[in-house]
Structure 1
Amino acid sequence: MSTTERPRILVVGGGYVGLYAARRILKKMRYAEATVTVVDPRSYMTYQPFLPEAAAGSISPRHVVVPLRRVVRGAEVLTGRVTSIDQDRKVATVAPLVGEAYELPFDYLVVALGAVSRTFPIPGLAEQGIGMKGVEEAIGLRNHVLEQLDKADSTTDEDVRRKALTFVFVGGGFAGAETIGEVEDMARDAAKYYTNVKREDMRFILVDAADKILPEVGPQLGKWGKEHLEGRGVEIYLSTSMDSCVDGHVVLKNGLEVDSNTIVWTAGVKPNPALARFGLPLGPRGHVDTAPTLQVQGTDYIWAAGDNAQVPDIAARKAGVENAWCPPNAQHALRQAKVLGDNVVSGMRGFPQKEYAHANKGAVAGLGLHKGVAMIVMGKMKIKLKGRLAWYMHRGYHGLAVPTWNRKIRVFADWTLAMFLKREVVSLGAMETPREEFYEAAKPAPAPAAKVEEKAKAS
């Protein structure tokens, strides 16, 4: 970390907003006008819309992440967490991965902590659940599912086999519907290589407390998506929730009980709880309360955007929707970051702030290979697509939206190769404990029983 007399712009978080805002600021400001510092527990940004495809093996996990130090050249990147903000002194407390926490002064602050999984105090969830917020979880889910097929193929115990081949997904939004669609597709392909496992032996269950899935694409396409998944053998239970999952015994509120080794939790997100320690004005659900300029209410040197911010949706309000707020999705986060970056530079120079306004352009979702739904908004007209064409729209949009040409080319290369090569169905579960085999080989051998008895007598 460098010390400088230049003004410091501190960006807390290296996700969508943090990365794009830092890039925008670096692009707009003059040479040596300020120091930009990005703090995040990870040294990379994760493009989350690709996590379901990474879990299914359609995209290499390395191509889903963007290294911060490579992309925000000219900025300081600190790997750690901002644990508190002292607004009076304009000082942040940073806890690095190793070593003691230290104070970092700043002049301008960007709060871009994003969101975390929204969970409930359900018995067994913390021990059994698998999230889908990071690339580590996507890789872990892929390895785990393939490992369950290995178990089922090798055992003669029917209870073990049934539990291994039952997969429960909680949450029917984009993350849940896309993940179950991709994973079911992968499991269907993988079953071709197993002697004792067929797709008919597997049980996929999708649970949601709402009365529909995929609400982001509207009721008509959501209904089609539900029927499509059910046609592939996925059981969908709506208007219900999970009461417990202790030791993999899943109990739903509608009375259904199943045993499963795989419980995937995608039931929404909530703002990062760390915001409560920053002393910022928060909305009723824990979001940072911002003005349309993305400035935090009551301040002129702090900005916030993305999933951790409560940003007024000016476009929706002009259309007559009262008290509308920007939904927590990538479409808004990417555009908010650019406006935020411009406003930070304007604020540093004493220029007026620009308000953020963006009309919804629609939504796209992939439900497996060659399967998807898409709603494209063009003015007052909504174009609804489903099937293969929607899937092309999904891939085209996100392939162009992922940051940097390096990642765009790698992702499109993955998709192109997949047209000619079969999907990999190997489990690398040992990656989660890579030292285990070496430890077993290197640990001291136990002393023979005879020598142990001799030592005991001698003592």
Structure 2
Amino acid sequence: MPDPVRIVIVGGGYVGAKAAHYLRKHLEPGEADVVVIDPRSYMTYQPFLAEAAAGSVEPRHVVVPLREVLPGCRVVAAEVTGIDRTERTVTMRVAGGHVEQVGYDVLVVAVGSVSKTLPIPGLAEHGIGFKTLEEAIYLRNHVLSRLDQADSTMDPELRRRLLTFVFVGGGYAGVEAMAELEDMTRQALPSYSIGRHELRWVLVEAMDRIMPEVSPQLAAYTLEVLRSRGFEPHLGTTLKSAEHGHIVLGDGTEFDADTLVWTAGVRPNPMLAGTDLPLDNRGRVICSATLEVRDSPWVFAAGDAAAIPDLSKKDPDATCPPSAQHASRQATRLAKNVLASLRGEPLVRYRHANAGSVASLGLYQGVAQIYGVKLRGFPAWALHRGYHLATMPTAHRKARIAADWLLSLPFRRQVVATGEQQHPRSQFVHATAR
């Protein structure tokens, strides 16, 4: 190994950022250089996306600039397009499409996941995911603008279409996003000539239950809460078509909607297909329990894009599910094992039993299951906020988020749509055309 060793981390999300931070903190001076490559120069704390979309938290407060939290590391804003284990190089596309290569001595693959979509007619044209801050901001502005437009039209069919919101996927992401946005629109209604009964919130889930992360009892309770707030669940069915905004479900239900949100699972980052890394049938990097990539000396992987044995299960073929809980703990174990490799020490296998899950269902409502203890309502909601505030990086972002929450107690949320954010040059282009 050269001196200093070059550690290249592909991916600046939660796994990459946390692993880089740990390495930077525990590396001896001159022991290694750390390079982090990601198209975005910031990490998004995804558990707060739903609250950012609903206006409970300022969107800027849920992102963490990598250069701020990784002093001493080189942060490269580029898109990785290839990895060559033989040459030990990473190929990346930087500004203006220019292609460059960087060599590595130790490689960490933490590219995360993207929305898992299906070839459904109309989905690509009308759907939106819920994986990034940009999508959360767009969805907030979009939903509020539907209220503006519905309040302004005299056409009853158009009004009904504008006030129909469809969410496909009944996992944590879908339920939290839908519940928070419904809570936001309900608070906004006094400013509009729109009755609460006119809003139609439709949840589509292929399984016969929602939120498989919690017990059937908590899932049933969540469904009961959603129904009491006017949600329309369609379980055991799928989205068949969304062409021209006309929604067709597998159970025969048909209607028009102007909002379609897709939260039906994730898949590994497709850039992995352009590498020579060993992948399983789901496109994940095949790893051992020590987070080393199979047949790849000095290459490690973790997070949603890695197939890591789940030692807490009896099934020898079980792998860790893509969750923030696993990603956080794998990042620390990966960093420790990288340090152990550099220093000739034994590596430790990753083993973690699921501690539980917490979810928000809007202000003062939530569900939680922690080490077998089930909570619902306000205690679960408070636990959700407390847990994620504690795990949010940097003290000043914790303080800003806490301040956002405190200000929401005496004051209502800001419910205004700034649609120009989606197309910021449209006004200028229109002016220059005259």
* Aligned pairs (5 A) from 1:139-178: 139-178=137-176
1:341 partner SS:
helix
Kept in 1, the 8 Å contact 2:3–2:30? The answer is: no
Structure 1 distance, partners of 2:79, 2:348, is: 30
* Aligned pairs (5 A) from 1:370-449: 370-377=364-371, 382-443=372-433, 445=434
Aligned amino acid, residue 414 of structure 2:
E
After TM superposition, give the deviation of residue 321 of structure 1 in Å.
4.4
After TM superposition, give the deviation of residue 349 of structure 1 in Å.
2.1
Structure 2 distance, partners of 1:33, 1:372, is: 46
Structure 2 distance, partners of 1:217, 1:192, is: 35
2:96 partner SS:
coil
Structure 2 distance, partners of 1:210, 1:398, is: 28
Structure 1 distance, partners of 2:61, 2:25, is: 24
1:369 partner SS:
coil
Kept in 1, the 8 Å contact 2:268–2:283? The answer is: yes
Aligned amino acid, residue 156 of structure 1:
M
Aligned amino acid, residue 284 of structure 1:
N
Partner in structure 2 of residue 284 of structure 1: 281
Aligned amino acid, residue 335 of structure 2:
G
Structure 2 distance, partners of 1:31, 1:429, is: 49
2:124 to 112, 126, 135: 126
After TM superposition, give the deviation of residue 138 of structure 1 in Å.
0.3
**Does 2:301 align with 1:309?**
no
2:67 to 66, 69, 74: 69
Kept in 2, the 8 Å contact 1:41–1:97? The answer is: no
Structure 1 distance, partners of 2:259, 2:35, is: 40
1:31 partner SS:
coil
Kept in 1, the 8 Å contact 2:85–2:277? The answer is: no
Aligned amino acid, residue 178 of structure 2:
I
Kept in 1, the 8 Å contact 2:41–2:66? The answer is: yes
Aligned amino acid, residue 352 of structure 2:
H
Aligned amino acid, residue 188 of structure 2:
A
After TM superposition, give the deviation of residue 373 of structure 1 in Å.
0.3
1:211 to 196, 208, 233: 208
1:384 partner SS:
strand
2:23 to 25, 29, 34: 25
**Does 2:105 align with 1:107?**
yes
Structure 1 distance, partners of 2:359, 2:124, is: 28
Aligned amino acid, residue 31 of structure 1:
P
* Deviation readout 1:322-348 (Å, 9 max, x if unpaired): 432211111111111011011112112
* Deviation readout 1:245-269 (Å, 9 max, x if unpaired): 0111010010001101100000000
Aligned amino acid, residue 233 of structure 1:
G
1:37 partner SS:
strand
Partner in structure 1 of residue 234 of structure 2: 237
TM-score (structure 1 length as normaliser)? 0.93
Structure 2 distance, partners of 1:442, 1:281, is: 52
Structure with higher Rg: it is: 1
Aligned amino acid, residue 232 of structure 2:
E
* Deviation readout 1:150-201 (Å, 9 max, x if unpaired): 000000011111110000000000001111100110111111111x212111
After TM superposition, give the deviation of residue 352 of structure 1 in Å.
1.5
Kept in 2, the 8 Å contact 1:187–1:199? The answer is: no
Identical columns (%): 52
Kept in 1, the 8 Å contact 2:85–2:296? The answer is: no
The CA RMSD measured in Å over matched residues stands at 1.2
Q: Which moved more, 1:280-289 or 1:118-127?
A: 280-289
Kept in 2, the 8 Å contact 1:85–1:279? The answer is: yes
Structure 1 distance, partners of 2:299, 2:272, is: 13
2:78 partner SS:
strand
Partner in structure 2 of residue 181 of structure 1: 179
After TM superposition, give the deviation of residue 8 of structure 1 in Å.
1.1
After TM superposition, give the deviation of residue 234 of structure 1 in Å.
0.1
Partner in structure 1 of residue 221 of structure 2: 224
After TM superposition, give the deviation of residue 438 of structure 1 in Å.
2.3
Partner in structure 2 of residue 450 of structure 1: none
1:35 partner SS:
strand
* Deviation readout 1:355-378 (Å, 9 max, x if unpaired): 11112111000011111000010x
* Deviation readout 1:409-434 (Å, 9 max, x if unpaired): 11111111111111111001111112
TM-score (structure 2 length as normaliser)? 0.98
Structure 2 distance, partners of 1:341, 1:77, is: 17
Structure 2 distance, partners of 1:431, 1:97, is: 23
After TM superposition, give the deviation of residue 441 of structure 1 in Å.
2.5
Kept in 1, the 8 Å contact 2:3–2:31? The answer is: no
* Deviation readout 1:28-66 (Å, 9 max, x if unpaired): 111121111101011111111111111111111001111
Structure 1 distance, partners of 2:290, 2:222, is: 37
After TM superposition, give the deviation of residue 298 of structure 1 in Å.
1.6
Partner in structure 1 of residue 352 of structure 2: 358
**Does 2:92 align with 1:98?**
no
Structure 2 distance, partners of 1:383, 1:250, is: 39
1:216 partner SS:
coil
After TM superposition, give the deviation of residue 99 of structure 1 in Å.
4.2
Partner in structure 2 of residue 82 of structure 1: 80
* Aligned pairs (5 A) from 1:287-366: 287-314=284-311, 316-317=312-313, 320-366=314-360
2:404 partner SS:
helix
Structure 2 distance, partners of 1:15, 1:406, is: 19
Structure 1 distance, partners of 2:245, 2:54, is: 22
Aligned amino acid, residue 252 of structure 2:
G
Structure 1 distance, partners of 2:413, 2:77, is: 35
Structure 2 distance, partners of 1:71, 1:384, is: 35
1:306 partner SS:
coil
Q: Which moved more, 1:69-78 or 1:402-411?
A: 402-411
